[in-house]
């Protein structure tokens, strides 16, 4: 990988301001003048955070790319540290708009309206950390994510997520994924209590079911529905609703 350019050259205007935090305050008619904006102590030209007035949001993270002039944002909730919004843009004024809306407690949809580059992840805010709502939020995120993936087997993976979600016994469990493998838990993040088998979408369009992570020891199937049916048969009968992790 080529050596990234000097941040002071790639972001000369930010360097002239002294930090990304200072450059943000100067954008969009000073909309962040009265807002706590903190520069990174380790990379002040590349990283900053913007505070929020809501206790169920963490400060918005803003990062500059190192190989081209562009910024990314990440807005998370504090209990699971999962992203509610993300996005990338080369317009720092748009970043300032998003940061102001996040700080002011605007809804996720209103943040996107204020700064169209913002991309909601599908998760919704659960201020009281109700485990049933956190479970619903994570399912919504997985379904949106599956529909947006740009991979050759995106339709295979999306079919798996939808087939699992269509079954009430699985939909009631907290879902999580890794490497195209769908798993279930009886507690939310940050401390997952894993239960039942795993379901894997393979690049050849087939579906695996396994007792362990990324294993097909319970079979490999041509349809997502067949794989989900086997997973249901191997789900413990005494599984209860998710609790907080």
Q: What is the pLDDT, as a whole number, of residue 176?
A: 96
Residue 213 has a CB neighbour count (10 Å cut-off) of 12
Whole-model pTM: value is 0.93
Here the tokens at position 6 are: 């000097």
Q: Please answer whether residues 75 and 124 qualify as being in contact, where contact means their C-beta atoms are separated by less than 8 angstroms.
A: no
Domain ranges of the chain: 7-120, 131-233
Helix (H) or strand (E) holding 136: helix 131-148
Q: Are 78 and 29 in contact (CB under 8 A)?
A: no
For residue 19, what are the contacts with CB-CB under 8 A and spacing of at least 6? Answer: 39, 44, 45, 48
Tokens of 205: 């369009």
Give the DSSP letter string of the chain: -PPPPPHHHHTHHHHHHTSHHHHHHHSGGGTTTTS-EEE-SS-TTTEEEE--S-TTSPPEEEEE-SSSS-EEEEEE-TTT--EEEEEEES-HHHHHHHHHHHHTT--HHHHHHHSTT-EE-S----TT--HHHHHHHHHHHHHHHHHH--STTHHHHHHHHHHHHTSHHHHTSEEEEETTEEEEESB-TTS--EEEEEEEE-TTS-EEEESSTT--TTEEESSHHHHHHHHHHTS-TT----B--
Return the pLDDT at 167: 97
Tens place of pLDDT for every residue, the chain, 245 residues? 678 889 989 999 999 999 999 999 998 778 888 899 999 999 999 999 999 999 999 999 999 999 999 999 999 999 999 999 999 999 999 999 999 999 999 999 999 999 999 999 999 999 999 999 999 999 999 999 999 988 777 899 999 999 999 999 999 999 999 877 999 999 999 999 999 999 999 999 999 999 977 689 999 999 999 999 999 999 998 888 899 98
Neighbours of 93 (CB within 10 A): 15
- Confidence at residue 13, expressed as pLDDT on a 0 to 100 scale: 95
**pLDDT at position 214:** 64
Q: What is the pLDDT of residue 1?
A: 67
CA gap 219, 211 in Å, rounded: 10
Please tell me the predicted confidence (pLDDT) of residue 94: 97
Tens-place pLDDT, residues 173-198: 999 998 779 999 999 999 999 999 99
């Amino acid at each position: 990988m080529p050596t990234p350019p000097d941040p002071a050259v790639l972001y000369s205007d930010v360097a002239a301001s002294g930090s990304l935090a200072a450059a943000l305050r100067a954008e969009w008619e000073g909309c962040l003048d009265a807002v706590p904006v903190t520069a990174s102590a380790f990379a002040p030209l590349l990283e900053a955070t913007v505070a929020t007035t809501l206790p169920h949001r963490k400060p918005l993270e803003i990062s500059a790319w190192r190989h081209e002039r562009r910024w990314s944002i990440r807005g998370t909730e504090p209990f699971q540290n999962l992203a509610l919004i993300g996005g990338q843009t080369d317009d720092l004024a748009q970043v300032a708009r998003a940061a102001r809306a996040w700080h002011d407690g605007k809804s996720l949809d209103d943040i996107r309206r204020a700064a169209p580059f913002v991309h909601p992840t599908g998760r919704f805010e659960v201020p009281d950390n109700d485990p049933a709502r956190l479970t619903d939020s994570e399912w919504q995120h997985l379904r949106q994510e599956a529909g947006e993936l740009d991979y050759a087997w995106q339709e295979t993976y999306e079919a798996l997520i939808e087939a699992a979600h269509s079954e009430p016994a699985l939909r009631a469990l907290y879902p999580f994924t890794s490497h195209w493998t769908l798993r279930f838990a009886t507690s939310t993040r940050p401390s997952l209590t894993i239960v039942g088998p795993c379901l894997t979408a393979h690049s050849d369009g087939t579906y695996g079911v396994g007792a362990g992570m990324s294993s097909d020891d319970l079979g490999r199937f041509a349809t997502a529905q067949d794989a989900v049916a086997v997973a249901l048969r191997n789900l413990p009968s005494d599984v209860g609703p998710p609790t907080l992790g």
